[in-house]
């Protein structure tokens, strides 16, 4: 049983190195990011998420929509419990996996195989588990003998293929993504697409931040529209997409 | 028997947390003691080990001698300092060089752990902002990395003992609990420094300067016997670094550390950890915001 339950979650970022405070105040009028405020001691505070309340249950596929700076990435980070809410409370039940930065922890000087171990460890796999899965990962990523070479000798595509394969080995109950992952050349792309679909299917909850109507409509069942750190709309993906992107001209 | 059961339970708890560490997360801005974070980090010691090893390997990836370059440069430094200061203080080399070598090797370990502890969170910001790993793990990584380097440098000590035909006495084994006790203290200093330096970035520079001064105030390149009376009280008994070094150095040089050395080292570890756990518990949720 996977569950995400957020009750009035707020996230305030203090900005200690903001010297031009008056300039920042003026920026309040320009409405791109969250809301800028000052706390009692005069430190500039950015309210990135404001009173977010929602509940996501088993089987839901949720798209996070919103302009740049609306709070999508921050919300994903709160979901992955990197940021603790400044106020409010959240409950996350279920094994969490994130495909937000799949290259995290990859050391360019180490060989592909060593990187499978480092990255696998970071993702919480045990040494035995990685040892079991390493041959599959090597085979799937189609790197062949290059797996023994330092990653810095890889092309960008090969690098991404390796990172992608390691990260998609896990089967979490709650999956967080920032846009759909698409890697490799034409041949690998199809394989990767199938693997992503399979991974998404096996998770109970998917939360994906996206700018793509297609993704929100086809993969997701529900959408949250964030604006200035608040939920502007919460509903079925069709309803929200029609409101956010405008109705489809049929 | 009771303690055995308790120990078993702790191991079991560790396993459970390891397997399901992310299964239920309750988030709020409430503060608790930093104990849980430290416990979770210790349960994942293998990850800290992997990352720490990786750091050492990365630094020496394309060199033939690898980390033994550290040993060589350390050996050269000890030799040079030994010649100069042994001459100045007019101390026989057979006595001075082992003293100096052990002191400097320990000092490099102590000061690097503290200095790198200051940036433990800052330099791991990419990981901290992506993965909900226990924060103390990043401090453990710093400690492990430096313990590996220490192990490389330690090679110099038996070589010196051989060269001067100085016997290693049985009391030398006391250096092992001594080193563990010192490391226990270093761990909280590094964690506390990490938390505070992430919030106040200037502190990193202040810590570095203080450590530089402490190097000269602590008997490492000069022998404690040179001081007497009130001076000896201020520079030795009141100097925490002296006790941290002495619990390791004294046994290696053939005498047990004094009771004061042990008591001060143990008290430092105990009191320091209590304060640090309190501070860490209060601010650990803020660290990712400060990065």
pLDDT of residue B10: 42
Q: Are residues A142 and A198 in the same domain?
A: yes
How far apart, in whole angstroms, are the C-alpha atoms of residue A20 and residue A23?
5
The tokens of A241 are what?
A: 């997409």
A89 interface with B at CB cutoff 8 Å: yes
Which of A40-44, A224-228, B71-75, B267-271 bottoms out in mean pLDDT, i.e. has the lowest?
A40-44
A94 interface with B at CB cutoff 8 Å: yes
Q: Are residues A140 and A181 in the same domain?
A: yes
Contact criterion met (CB < 8 Å) for A118 and B51: yes
pLDDT of residue A90: 87
Q: Are residues A126 and A173 in the same domain?
A: yes
Question: Which residues, listed in sequence order, are joined to residue B7 by a DSSP beta bridge?
Answer: none
Classify A73 as helix, strand or coil. Answer: helix
Classify A135 as helix, strand or coil. Answer: helix
B260: pLDDT strictly greater than 80: yes
pLDDT of residue A250: 55
**Structural domain containing residue A62:** 3-94+208-245
In a domain, A107, yes or no: no
pLDDT of residue A219: 87
Q: Are residues A181 and A130 in the same domain?
A: yes
- Tell me the pTM: 0.85
Element (H, E) at B5: helix B2-20
In a domain, A250, yes or no: no
Residues 6+ apart with CB under 8 A from A12: A37, A39, A45, A46, A47, A48, A86
Contact criterion met (CB < 8 Å) for B26 and A98: no
In a domain, A52, yes or no: yes
Q: What are the phi and psi torsion angles at A22 (to 5°)?
A: -65, -35
- The minimum CA-CA distance between A81 and chain B, rounded to whole Å, is 6
How far apart, in whole angstroms, are the C-alpha atoms of residue A197 and residue A191?
10
Q: Are residues A173 and A235 in the same domain?
A: no
DSSP state of A151: G
Tally Cβ neighbours within 10 Å of residue B60. 14
pLDDT of residue B9: 41
Mutation for B interface: A5, A44, A84, most B CBs within 10 A: A84
pLDDT of residue B11: 42
Q: Which residues of B touch A80 (CB under 8 A)?
A: 130-132
Q: What is the dihedral of CA B215, B216, B219, B223, to 10 degrees?
A: 140
Task: Render pLDDT for B112-148 as a digit per residue (tens, 0 to 9).
Answer: 999 999 999 999 988 898 888 899 999 999 999 999 9
B15: pLDDT strictly greater than 50: no
Tally Cβ neighbours within 10 Å of residue B234. 12
In a domain, A195, yes or no: yes
Q: Are residues A143 and A224 in the same domain?
A: no
Classify A76 as helix, strand or coil. Answer: helix
DSSP state of A82: S
Question: Which residues, listed in sequence order, are joined to residue A111 by a DSSP beta bridge?
Answer: A150
Task: Render pLDDT for B202-214 as a digit per residue (tens, 0 to 9).
Answer: 899 999 999 999 9
In a domain, A190, yes or no: yes
In a domain, A78, yes or no: yes
In a domain, A214, yes or no: yes
In a domain, A167, yes or no: yes
Q: Are residues A199 and A212 in the same domain?
A: no
Q: Are residues A86 and A32 in the same domain?
A: yes
CA B233 → CA A76, A215, B108, B239, distances in Å? 56, 72, 24, 9
Tally Cβ neighbours within 10 Å of residue B112. 18
pLDDT of residue A37: 62
Q: Are residues A121 and A180 in the same domain?
A: yes
Q: Are residues A85 and A42 in the same domain?
A: yes
Instruction: Give yes or no for a contact between A225 and A234, defined as CB atoms under 8 angstroms apart.
Output: yes
pLDDT of residue B31: 63
Among candidate residues B5, B266, B29, B46, the one with its CA nearest the CA of residue A87? B29
Q: Which residues of B touch A98 (CB under 8 A)?
A: 130-131
Sign of the C-alpha dihedral computed for residues B250, B256, B262 and B263 taken in this order: negative
**Least CA distance to B53: which residue of chain A?**
A118
How far apart, in whole angstroms, are the C-alpha atoms of residue A104 and residue A123?
10
- The minimum CA-CA distance between B199 and chain A, rounded to whole Å, is 9
Q: Are residues A170 and A124 in the same domain?
A: yes
- Residue B19: pLDDT band by 50, 70, 90 thresholds? very low
Task: Render pLDDT for B45-61 as a digit per residue (tens, 0 to 9).
Answer: 888 998 999 888 888 87
Blockwise average pLDDT, block size 10, chain A, 250 residues: 88 70 50 56 79 90 89 90 88 87 85 89 86 89 88 88 89 88 81 88 91 88 90 88 79
Token look-up 């001064």 returns B213
- The minimum CA-CA distance between B228 and chain A, rounded to whole Å, is 48
Strand-by-strand arrangement of the A96-98 sheet: A96-98, A174-178, A205-209, A61-65, A222-227, A230-236
pLDDT of residue A207: 92
- CATH label of the domain that carries residue A58: 3.40.50.300
CA B186 → CA A64, A172, B66, B133, distances in Å? 44, 37, 26, 21
ipTM for the whole predicted complex goes beyond 0.95: no
Q: Are residues A19 and A143 in the same domain?
A: no
pLDDT of residue A185: 80
How far apart, in whole angstroms, are the C-alpha atoms of residue B261 and residue A24?
54
pLDDT of residue A28: 55
Strand-by-strand arrangement of the A87-93 sheet: A35-38, A44-56, A3-15, A87-93, B24-27
Out of A89, A105, A124, the one facing B127 most closely (by C-beta) is: A105
As for how many domains chain A has, the answer is 2
């Amino acid at each position: 049983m996977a569950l995400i339950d957020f009750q009035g979650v707020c996230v305030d970022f203090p900005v200690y190195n903001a010297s031009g405070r008056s300039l920042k105040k003026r920026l309040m009028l320009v409405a791109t990011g969250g809301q800028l405020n000052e706390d009692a001691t005069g430190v500039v505070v950015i309210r990135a998420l404001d009173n977010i309340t929602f509940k996501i249950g088993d089987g839901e596929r949720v798209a996070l929509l919103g302009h740049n700076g609306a709070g999508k990435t921050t919300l994903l980070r709160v979901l992955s419990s990197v940021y603790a809410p400044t106020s409010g409370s959240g409950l996350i039940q279920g094994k969490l996996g994130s495909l937000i930065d799949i290259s995290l922890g990859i050391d360019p000087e180490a060989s592909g195989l060593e990187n499978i171990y480092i990255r696998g460890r970071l993702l919480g796999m045990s040494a035995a588990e990685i040892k079991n899965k390493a041959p599959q990962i090597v085979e799937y990523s189609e790197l062949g003998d290059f797996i023994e070479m330092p990653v810095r000798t890889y092309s960008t595509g090969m690098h991404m293929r390796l990172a992608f394969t390691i990260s998609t080995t896990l089967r979490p109950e709650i999956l967080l993504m920032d846009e759909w992952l698409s890697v490799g050349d034409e041949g690998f792309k199809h394989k990767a697409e199938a693997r992503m679909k399979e991974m998404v299917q096996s998770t109970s909850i998917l939360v994906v931040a996206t700018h793509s109507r297609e993704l929100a409509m086809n993969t997701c069942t529900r959408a949250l529209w964030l604006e200035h750190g608040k939920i502007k709309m919460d509903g079925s993906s069709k309803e929200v997409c029609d409101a956010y992107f405008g109705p489809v001209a049929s | 028997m009771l303690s055995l059961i308790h120990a078993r339970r702790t191991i079991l708890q560790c396993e459970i947390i390891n397997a399901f560490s992310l299964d239920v997360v309750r988030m709020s801005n409430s503060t608790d003691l930093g104990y849980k974070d430290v416990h979770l980090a210790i349960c994942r010691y293998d990850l800290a080990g992997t990352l720490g090893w990786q750091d050492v390997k990365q630094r020496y990836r394309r060199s033939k001698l690898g980390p033994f370059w550290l040993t060589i440069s350390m050996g050269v430094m000890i030799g040079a300092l030994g010649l100069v200061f042994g001459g100045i203080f007019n101390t026989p080399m057979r006595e001075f060089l082992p003293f100096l070598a052990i002191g400097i090797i320990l000092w490099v370990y102590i000061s690097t752990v503290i200095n790198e502890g200051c940036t433990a969170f800052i330099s791991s910001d990419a990981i901290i902002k992506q993965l909900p790993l226990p924060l103390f793990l990043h401090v453990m990584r710093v400690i492990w990395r430096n313990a590996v380097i220490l192990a490389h440098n330690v090679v110099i000590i038996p070589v010196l003992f051989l060269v001067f035909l100085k016997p290693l006495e049985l009391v030398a084994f006391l250096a092992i609990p001594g080193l563990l006790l010192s490391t226990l203290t270093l761990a909280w200093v590094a964690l506390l420094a990490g938390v505070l330096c992430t919030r106040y970035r200037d502190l990193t520079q202040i810590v570095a300067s203080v450590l530089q001064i402490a190097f000269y105030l602590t008997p490492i390149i000069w022998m404690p016997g040179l001081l007497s009376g009130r001076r000896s009280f201020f520079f030795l008994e009141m100097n925490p670094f002296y006790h941290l070094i002495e619990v390791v150095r004294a046994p290696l040089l053939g005498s047990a550390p004094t009771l004061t050395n042990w008591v001060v080292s143990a008290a430092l570890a105990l009191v320091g950890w209590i304060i640090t756990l309190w501070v860490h518990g209060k601010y650990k949720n803020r660290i990712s915001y400060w990065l």
